[in-house]
Structure 1
Amino acid sequence: MERKMLVATVSLVVASAAHGQSSVTLFGVIDEGLMIQSNARTTAATAATPGIGSRRVFLDSIAGQLGSRWGLRGVEDLGGGTKAVVMLESGVNLNSGALGQAGLLFGRQAYVGFSNDHYGTVTFGRQYESMVTYFATMIAAGQFATGFYAQAADVNNVNASQRVNNAVKYASPNLNGLTFGGTYSLGGVPGSLGRNSIYSAGVNYARGPIVLAAAYLFVHQPNTALFSNSGLASGLLSPGGSQVAAANTIWGGYATAATYQTFAVGSIYKIGDVGIGVNYSNTQFRDLQSPSSGLSISALGPQGTAIFNVGELNAVWHVTPAFQLGAAYTYAHGSQVSRSALRSFGGATYNSATLGADYFLSKATDVYVVGIIQKAHGTDSTGNPAVANIANLTPSSNDRQAVMRIGLRVKF
């Protein structure tokens, strides 16, 4: 009996070895930065008094060039150019030891799927949607300016503030510089296939000196399906307030939308060692004060559709293989939505600019500095005078805000 078991075991091992090889890779990034913020609001403005704010100095490891994380990447060769793939990736707050993404163990990504050299990759789980996959490197925040330069508090999700739960994703192979794909997130609500569902698609073409990209994202019930890094998404738990929306004044007042959509187009043209990029996005929060949002609604809140138009011009100069400089200017305008009986909402503009420098000490380690300024004007999504609100920061108490980050990044 033992001999038969031994023969069977050996045969299984040999068959596995002949069929393919598997590997698991531990990887990660530690991205720590000293932050100097010019104004962090400590008291909100009222009708009688202006808001109060003060300078803030702190450490951050979440919203740097890449954001600190660790993960496991698994691949098994199944033969014929096909592989099984696995990804588990966890965000880390270096300064407290806490998990990122609202405390989820693998909040950045967690998926399994198949990859084929000729037909592309299909994966299932928590993932980046296709707006991020095909467009993130077109904006300054995805090149050098850190997550703090995400456009208008990442109103278009290009900088990956949100991942997508319960997602099926397809990504094409590289076809002479052309890549494309799509993502669909199942809402998971009994009796309603569309509720809390998400779909997105994108395309990117990089050939010679030019890069072109376009992407689209549509979300039903965005407050519960997208505007949270926690398990609230996709209707698996009781709906609740959006963590991300509540944290910003630029578009946080529009979390009651029934649907959300964004479309982006952009290009980068390289002239020698300099890459010059331009991009545009249009984002719409439709049917505000919708009962389907899972939030308390009010007849005195913003009504109708809120639209954000965002344009950016950026440039990156690779001075040497180890040293680069970057600069960008971003203009964001939110439309005025229909007025309630007592106040108006929207109509604000946000002008932002950034400068950055990055020096690579080795292939895995670099030091960098980034400065960002923002000026706001008009009325914001909460119906109050617009204040500057740089992404991932506490809003300013007035219409101006600046921040500097001195960072150290190590990849492994």
Structure 2
Amino acid sequence: MNAALTCAQEWVVDLTEADVHLRDSLRCEKGLLQVGVSMHGRRDGKKAIDFACQSDRAPRCLVRETTGRRQYHNVQRSMKRFEATAQRHAAARFAHVTSIYKFVRLTRPHAWWKSGVFLVMAAPAVHAQGSLRLTGSMDAGIAYVSDAGGTAGAHSAWQIKNGDVNISRWILTGEDPITNDLNAIMTLTNGFSVMTGAAAQQGRLFGFQSFVGLSSRSKGTLTLGRQFDAVVQYVEPFALGGTTYGGTAFAHPFDNDNLDNYTRTNNAVKYSSPDIHGLAFGGTYGFSNKPGAFSDSREYSVGASYHLGEMRVGAGYFQFNHASNLATANTDGAEPAGAPFNADRQRTYAAGGNYRLTRATLGLVLSETRLDNATSINNVADTAIKLPHDAVRFDNIEVNVRYFVTPKWHISAAYVFTYGRFDTPAGTRYPKWHQVGLLNTYFLSQRSDVYGEVIYQRANELEGTGIHGAQISNFPRASGSNQLVAAIGLRHRF
């Protein structure tokens, strides 16, 4: 049986939520027509947009069945041209492009079941009204740690690791159109360990994120559930920690400013505005849910971003009251089990920005975290660090660069300096951290890549702070002031 169907070659650029404003500046290449822009939930739980272009002269796609196999002709040659055009265009202009999809789409979508012809795709599902889809990513690798001995003394280690760059996760997202401008949305994201199968985020089923809400292109998005705060939304995209360009091991010491999104907010109401002539803003409020103690384990945050040409900037503020993982904590509060610090109050101020060149993006991030009456640091890969009711301050400066050597190969690097102040009962201490990281990533396909990373940290003047060694995020504590991590890994997105 021979059948001829008209096919359309289409490319789609997947932009992170931080780059949603760029949809107004995207243009199709010559010979391509824009076919739409759509919002969707991305694999890591954040929002993203798809910008799609297709050929204005869709070629004939000859489908022939021979001995049970379907052969497609006059397609691959055209697809290669469109894919190359899309990748060159995206890599040259947008540093936050996470993937480029390509697929062949039948222009008679209701005829496939009659002819036995199925949709051929090299990417995840096509978006549809009333959609529900499952996506995700897996990250695993092998790491060498120069010193992981802690108080037992200097001992190196070889470790097989989960999520050295990005925590493995699966994501269920749904969208239900209510009007042309309003959609009901939902996201359930489960973080897990590839190595053990155990749930991440203190064993929660949907600890990465879980929320439901309403989204309007003209009015903004309102969601309720377990979500990221405004500092993560508006400042994290400028850092390497928490992104695909650096990830977990690139976090600032103890992820003190949450730019690696260690902390989520329970009971949160969140609003995110639409892009208003380059300006976007939003905030969260996490309820304590405790009768008679409205502020016990509550959270609130605000943030904003602005873009002008190739320059983008953002700023945010985040505060937790009585965040604690102790047995006496408010277990119904905004973040009990996953509190990064046990303290009466945590306040984080952050600002950042970047500037895009042809292939490189230069970034700068400044942040400060203050802890009142801190008794422990919990966000470590081993035992918590006890503090004697200190007033603690971390000041962080990060300078980074992201460079696309080719559309399939990119390199990113960062230097972080952290200046601490610990007001202890024995006096004030001023610890300092220097950290340098390099990540080299090569894409095997649109959904799979291999990477190699090297991170070095030096921690000075730790005496009297309760901290006994350098500690790169996601790795055991060193016995001394120096620690080096070298890792290789594989990431796959589905």
Distance 1:244 1:404 in 2: 28
Alignment partner of 1:100 out of 172, 177, 200:
200
> For 1:363, which of 441, 446, 467 is the aligned residue?
446
Count how many residue pairs are aligned between Structure 1 and Structure 2.
356
Q: Secondary structure at the match of 2:469?
A: coil
Change (3 A) 1:192 1:125: same
1:244-296, Cα deviation, whole Å (9 max, x unpaired): 65xxxxxxxxx442111000111111222111111110110024469xxxxxx
Q: Does 1:336 align with 2:432?
A: no
Residues 136 and 159, structure 1, Cα contact 8 Å, conserved in 2: yes
Deviates more, 1:274-283 or 1:52-61: 52-61
Distance verdict in 2 for CA 1:243–1:89, change over 3 Å: closer
Query: 2:312: which partner in 1?
Result: 211
CA deviations 1:80-103 (Å, max 9, x no partner) are 411110111101101011111111
4+ long deviations beyond 6 Å: none
The question of 1:286 aligning with 2:358 is answered no
- Select the structure that is richer in strand: 2
Structure 1 counterpart of 2:482: 400
Shift in Å at residue 38 of structure 1? Answer: 1.0
2:407 & 2:428 partners in 1: Cα distance?
Answer: 48
Q: Tell me the residue number matched to 1:409.
A: 491
3-state SS in 2 of match to 1:335: strand
AA aligned to 2:290 is: V
Q: What amino acid maps onto 2:193 in structure 1? A: N
Give structure 2 stretches of 5+ with no counterpart.
1-127, 377-385
Distance 1:285 1:215, change over 3 A: same
Q: Output the CA distance in 2 between the equivalents of 1:135 and 1:169.
A: 16
Counterpart CA distance in 2 for 1:149 and 1:41 is: 21
Greater relative CO (CA pairs within 8 A, separation 6+) = 1
Partner of 2:458: 375
Q: Which amino acid is the alignment partner of residue 345 of structure 2?
A: T
Contact 1:276 1:314 in 2 (8 A): yes
> How far does residue 363 in structure 1 lie from its aligned partner after superposition?
1.5
Task: Give yes or no for contact 1:279–1:311 (8 Å, CA) kept in 2.
Answer: yes
| SS of structure 2 residue aligned to 1:189 | coil
Select which of 67, 73, 80 maps to 2:167. 67
Q: Match for 1:273: what amino acid?
A: R
Q: Distance in 1 between matches of 2:185 and 2:349?
A: 30
Distance 1:140 1:262, change over 3 A: same
Cα distance, 1:137 vs. partner?
A: 1.3
Partner of 2:257: 156
Please give the alpha-carbon distance, in whole angstroms, between the structure 2 residues aligned to 1:199 and 1:244: 14
Decide whether aligned partners of structure 1 residues 322 and 22 sit closer, same or farther in structure 2, where only a CA change above 3 A counts: same
The DSSP-based 3-state class of the residue aligned with 1:395 is coil
**2-structure distance, mates of 1:233, 1:29:** 33
1:233 CA drift (Å): 7.7
Aligned to 2:57: none
Give the CA deviation at 1:21.
4.0
Match among 122, 130, 134 for residue 26 of structure 1: 134
- Aligned partner of residue 255 in structure 2, secondary structure: coil
| CA contact 1:273–1:318 (8 Å) conserved in 2 | yes
Deviation at 1:104, TM superposition (A): 0.6
**C-alpha separation in 1, matches of 2:182 and 2:464:** 48
User: Between the two proteins, what is the percent identity of the paired residues?
Assistant: 30
8 Å contact 2:138–2:169 — kept in the other structure?
A: yes
Q: Does structure 2 conserve the Cα–Cα contact (< 8 Å) formed by 1:31 and 1:62?
A: yes
Aligned counterpart for 1:147 among listed residues 248, 251, 260: 248
* Change beyond 3 A, Cα 1:37–1:283: same
- Per-residue deviation, 1:128: 1.0
Question: Is 1:179–2:179 an aligned residue pair?
Answer: no
Match of 1:220 among 298, 309, 321: 321
Q: Could you say which residue in structure 2 is the equivalent of 1:250?
A: none
* Aligned-partner residue type, residue 57 of structure 1: W
TM-score (ref. length: structure 2):
0.68
Tell me which structure has the larger Cα radius of gyration.
2
Q: For 2:146, what is the secondary structure of its paired residue? A: strand
- After superposition, the Cα gap between the structure-2 partners of 1:113 and 1:381, relative to the gap in structure 1 and judged at 3 Å, is farther
Give CA deviations for 1:96-120 in whole Å, capped at 9, x if unaligned: 1111111111110111111111001
Are positions 1:236 and 2:332 aligned together? yes
